Amino acid sequence: MENNKISVGLDIGTTKIVAMIGRKNEYGKAEILGIGKSKSLGVHRGVVNNITQTIQSIQQAVQEAEAEAGLKIEDVTVGIAGQHIRSLQHSDYITRANSELVIDEEDIDRLINQVHKLVMLPGEEIIHVLPQEYKVDGQGEIKEPIGMYGGRLEANFHVVVGQVSSIRNIGRCVKSSGLELEGITLEPLASANAVLSQEEKEAGVALIDIGGGTTDLAVFKDGIIRHTAVIPFGGNVITEDIKEGCSIIEKQAELLKIKFGSAWPGENKDNEIVSIPGLRGREPKEITLKNLSKIIHARVVEIVEQVYVEIKNYGHEEQKKKLIAGIVLTGGGSQLKHLKQLVEYITGMDTRIGYPNEHLAGDSDEDVASPLYATAVGLVMDGLKRQERKRIEKEREQLEQEIEASEEASNASEVVNPPKKERRSFLDKLTERVKDFLDNAE
């Protein structure tokens, strides 16, 4: 199998690092060939804080995935999250020199590049510029202005910014692990691609990805991303609270949460008790499940309420912006018992748990389709899309060269219109910049 047909997603999370190898099958679905995962020791709340440990974890995950797939990995698509990510709305316009010509790709590029000149806080860098809708000469609600006439082109943008240093640190870890950075993607976007259907994105939906260190939010409406946020709490703070509240060690707290935890205290009877072995000859501890779920409930309510504030910030309460498809929960934290009911209770919105099987091949492993792997699956898909784009561009260039060659040969008078170059997404440019920076920093 050719290596250029496969794509590798690398999800550098707070709790675990996942390397996932996938390729497109003949039905256009993603087929997962290998998964490797390792404990993530050098990441805190989505941000790398120990480069050496992160490199070791990445290498371990990659080796595991390589062994399972029987392939060598070279390039990876990496997700970026963390508490430093913020998003803002911005509108901008350009005045076109010649309104006799129709609007084309270059006009849109010019407009997008102008947004990149926005002055950010020191140390921040724009990660995504996502056009929401366009206006041409004051006429609004235009989804695709290409081919229209007009002198003034404006657009509303959803701009996502993050810390330069964090982005570079991730690039550094990947490179030092002996891998090439093929692309960078915002994690909430990757998870959304893996678990949401196009209909949900059209109707309006909020994706909540509850990870170990952060909870990511992505809001879609009319098929376009409208709002993103990263909240610096996740499943780990729940474990911390159990550890403190029950005076037990972290490993025990994590097991308790997974095995017996529930987000809804009313469920447990007063007399349900778990006995936990004491440390080194000490007495075992007895913990009531009611108490356990009270602790979990308090913290989960806090996380969900913060996310709900962000959903309201987007404007969910306005009729036009209503999220008809409600909420989709994914990530490891979404597996907590009765969480769906709690979220519905707090927000009053329909809720489902999102499994990343939207674009996976039918015969995929049960494991892969777990909410734990939503981000990794999304990153693999993102890598596959990126390769597709590169392939199309390559074919186009070849076509253009052939046309030029045949024109010179026949000195033809007809003009052949070479196909349009596709717009390079800003992320590709960001990836190049991070790559250049790393190459020059050595």
DSSP notation for 339-391: HHHHHHHHH-S-EEE--TTSSB-TT--TGGGSGGGHHHHHHHHHHHHHHHHHH
| DSSP H helical ranges for 153-197 | 164-176, 187-195
Amino acid 130: pLDDT: 86
Amino acid 262: pLDDT: 93
Amino acid 270: pLDDT: 75
Mean pLDDT of 183-207: 94
Average pLDDT, the chain: 90
Question: What are the pLDDT digits (tens) for 360-385?
Answer: 888 778 888 999 999 999 999 999 99
Question: What are the pLDDT digits (tens) for 312-363?
Answer: 999 888 999 999 999 999 999 999 999 999 999 999 999 999 999 888 888 7
Which residues on adjacent β-strands are paired with residue 88? 159
Task: Tell me: pLDDT of 178 over 90.
Answer: yes
Cβ atoms of residues 215 and 208 within 8 Å: yes
Position 97 confidence tier, pLDDT thresholds 50, 70, 90: very high
Amino acid at 230: V
Task: Tell me the torsion sign for CA atoms 253, 353, 379, 219.
Answer: negative
Q: Which of 100-114, 120-134, 137-151, 418-432 has the lowest mean pLDDT?
A: 418-432
Question: What are the pLDDT digits (tens) for 230-272?
Answer: 899 999 999 999 999 999 999 999 999 999 999 998 776 778 8
Amino acid 282: pLDDT: 86
Amino acid 107: pLDDT: 93
The strand pair at 327-330 and 351-353 is best described as: parallel
pTM value is 0.87
Question: What are the pLDDT digits (tens) for 68-96?
Answer: 999 999 999 999 887 788 888 899 999 99
Task: Tell me: pLDDT of 390 over 90.
Answer: no
What domains does the chain contain, in order, with CATH numbers? 1-83+163-195+358-442 (3.30.420.40), 197-355 (3.30.420.40)
Strand, coil or helix: 402:
helix
Question: What are the pLDDT digits (tens) for 126-167?
Answer: 888 888 889 999 998 898 999 999 999 999 999 989 999 999
Mean pLDDT of 422-431: 70
Strand, coil or helix: 189:
helix
Strand, coil or helix: 237:
helix
Mean pLDDT of 45-60: 94
Residues with Cβ < 8 Å from 361, sequence gap 6 or more? 25, 27, 29, 30, 31, 32
Amino acid 433: pLDDT: 81
Task: Tell me: pLDDT of 428 over 70.
Answer: yes
